[in-house]
Amino acid sequence: MAMSAVVSSWLFPVIFTTTLAALVQNYQTNKPGQELERACYNDVGCFDNVGSFKHMKVLPQSPNEINTTFLLFTPESKTNGTILTKTLLLSNAKTEQVNWKNDMFVLVHGFGQFPFWMAPMKDALVDQNNNVIIVNWTSGSVGPNYYQAASNTRVVGAVLADFVSTLVKSLKISLNRLTLVGFSLGAHACGFAGKNLSGLSLDPAGPLFSGKESEARLDSSDAEFVQCIHTNGQSFFRGGLGSVQPMGHVDFYANGGLVQSGCADGLEEIILDLFHLNGTILEELTCSHSQAPVLYIETIKSSSFSQACQFTSVSCDSPNSWFQGKCFNCIANGDLPAFGYKLTEQKQFKGQYYFTTLPKNKHHETYCGKQYGFNIIPDQAVKGSITLTLMFSNLHSMNFTFQHIDETLEENSHAIKISAVPEFYPEITNITIIYEKYSSWIWKNGPDEWVLKSLSLLDMECNICQHCFRFYYYVVEWYNVQRANLVSPNVQKLSKRGKNTRSESERTGHQQNGYNSGHVRQMLCNNMSVRISNVQHGKICTIWAH
């Protein structure tokens, strides 16, 4: 059996409040001599809060209170599910018409009410000729008490293990054709079930599970093959509700696994987005978390197409190494795994793998894109933001943040930062480099100007474009340029011969992003000696492919 885990959650304030309340009570809960509590339930065993589970604070509720139910959907019955019980399975009633030779996926939700992702994931799996069982334990997962819901995953896991055992024995289903898919707390419920079976996990919940012993959380020993995807593993106190801790045979980290592209990074940005009415509270708090099931659903839907885009991933030992550009690899150096639905057919992969996606955007139908590695070699250490504007032959463009304002690109750096572009975009024709130096009263500032010794573009097929660019830059004399408003300057297009495509009269007074420039002039630069200036000085470098 395989397992897939998704770490996502529901209402952050609820989890935050209940977790803090439990931390305040921690001393009282662990007073010496306090009587240990223990609860035993028919068919699922006994549970206590000692040893690996002493952090849980509360005992799980009974199976009757949690009321876990199982709803079966098949290719023949996609919309009308059949409620399954142990009695029904043992009697074979209403199950004779089901093709039990199909692969079986068991979906388990996390904290809160019935989640948005279950119906589309069920539909996508059934469309691939799979049987799907939806596990509903909302009576035990509903807020506001996150501690209680987290503790209840132990009983849900035990009930699920008992149900699957009955399913396998009564219907002669092979465990090799069974996959448990758990989301948030559901990932750990799958883990508890899988300790007696095996499974697949989608981004396991972090609070109350990260850093705990393997018996108290999802672990690679819980299944024959455990696949995890991490989408929101940053600190809980920065708004993270997932975990960065490896918990499977293969752990995938989308966009570094901490926060997703297009989502707020930390509580500060969440508050700012809400202040500017950029989204609802629920959307902002769950943005990165909700990516996990969405990415998995995308891999299911695309699995029927031989040339479909894949989340090809590279081996990396930590998010820090990924963000520092130390992990780029390509297919010629060995097979690379692709996260998702088809990975269970490639169980030889083990370890931690990273991939990048397109940002969350209503204009993108998919998150999968062609992944490119970019290497910039400066002549000195450069502290400040470096943004690349990629222009394609169809005149589309997109921005890629190569480096943030407080980061440093070292002299002669070999860092390769990875970005995804839409699969249907044609070749990159030119790249504009926008540099803004780091300025501080305390720390060392970034340089006003530095020399770009080379820029390399690599793809996942090991094609490298290192000396195929011709360098130009503009010197633009802006009137009243303000950094806060300079978001993505639109540098006018140059021909590949270096001639300006506009007439002299058009170039004079050319408007860039709302600002009138008194004069624009273009220079052909030495291919190995291009000077990059702080954007406030009005110089922007554009690099053209031959």
177 lies in the same domain as 261: yes
Identify residue 360 by its one-letter amino acid code.
K
> What is the Cα–Cα distance from 263 to 284, expressed in whole angstroms?
7
How many structural domains compose the chain?
2
Q: With a cut of 50, which residues of the chain have pLDDT below it? A: 6-35, 198, 200-217, 269-270, 272-280, 473-528, 546
Beta partners for residue 315, in sequence order? 353
Residues 67 and 135 sit within 8 Å (Cβ to Cβ): no
Asked if residue 408 and residue 260 are part of one domain, the reply reads: no
The single residue listed with the structure tokens 């068919």 is 43
User: Do β-strands 530-533 and 449-459 pair in parallel, antiparallel, or remain unpaired?
Assistant: antiparallel
The parent domain of residue 341 ranges over 2-18+50-355
| 245 falls within a domain | yes
Query: How far is the C-alpha of 426 from the C-alpha of 46, rounded, in Å?
Result: 60
Q: What share of the chain is helix, strand, coil (3-state, %, to 5)?
A: 25, 30, 45
Asked, for residue 37, whether it belongs to a domain, the answer is: no
The two most distant CA atoms of the chain are separated, in Å, by 88
**Whether 386 and 343 share a structural domain:** no
**Catalytic residue of the set 230, 249, 289, 510:** 289
In this predicted model, what pLDDT tens digit does every residue of 335-377 receive, in sequence order?
A: 889 999 988 666 778 899 999 999 866 656 789 999 999 999 8
The amino acid at residue 110 is G
60 found inside a domain: yes
Are residue 130 and residue 217 in the same domain, yes or no? yes
289 part of the active site: yes
Residues 325 and 464 in one domain: no
Tell me: do 300 and 380 sit in the same domain: no
Residue 15: helix, strand or coil by DSSP?
Answer: helix
Spatial contact of 289 and 2, defined as CB atoms under 8 Å apart: no
Same domain for 460 and 326? no
Specify whether 302 is located in the same domain as 271: yes
Secondary structure of residue 342 in the 3-state scheme? helix
55 is catalytic: no
CA 298, 303, 304, 309 torsion-angle sign: positive
**CATH of residue 305:** 3.40.50.1820
Which of 226, 234, 172, 171 shows the shortest CA–CA distance to 197? 226
SS3 category, 90:
helix
Catalytic residue among 9, 184, 201, 243: 184
Asked whether 143 and 150 are in contact (CB, 8 A), the reply is no
Catalytic residue (one of 8, 109, 203, 288): 203
Token reading at 455: 């820029």
Mark out the alpha helices in 59-145 (DSSP H runs): 63-66, 86-91, 118-127, 138-141
Is residue 416 a contact partner of residue 466, using CB atoms and an 8 Å limit?
A: no
Residue 293 in contact with residue 183, Cβ under 8 Å?
yes
Give DSSP secondary structure letters for 363-426.
Answer: T-S-S-EEEEEEEEEESS-EEEEEEEEEEETTS-EEEEEEE-TT-EEPTT---EEEEEEETT--
Is residue 211 assigned to a domain?
A: yes
> Residues 102, 248: one domain?
yes
Closest CA to 444 of 381, 486, 386: 381
Q: Token pair 């705990």 is at which residue?
A: 212
Q: Taking a C-beta distance cutoff of 8 angstroms, is the pair 475, 523 a contact?
A: yes
Q: Are residues 301 and 381 in the same domain?
A: no
Tell me, what's the pLDDT at 88? 84
Residue at which a domain ends, from 355, 388, 411: 355
**Helix, strand, or coil here: 123?**
helix
Supply 320's token pair.
Answer: 């820090």
User: What CATH number has the domain bearing residue 498?
Assistant: 2.60.60.20
From 324, 355, 386, give the residue that closes a domain: 355
Give pLDDT, residue 20: 44
Query: Residue 134 falls within a domain, yes or no?
Result: yes
Report the alpha-carbon distance of residue 490 to residue 113 in Å, rounded.
45
Model confidence pLDDT, tens digit, residues 12-40: 444 444 444 444 444 334 443 334 578 99
Neighbours of 503 (CB within 10 A): 8
DSSP letters of 246-294?
--SSEEEEETTSSS-TTS--SHHHHHHHHHTT-S-HHHHHHTTTTHHHH
User: Active site includes 203?
Assistant: yes
Q: Is residue 29 part of a domain?
A: no
Q: What is the pLDDT of residue 152?
A: 94
Question: What pLDDT does residue 394 have?
Answer: 87
Residue 10 and residue 65 in one domain: yes
pTM over 0.85: no
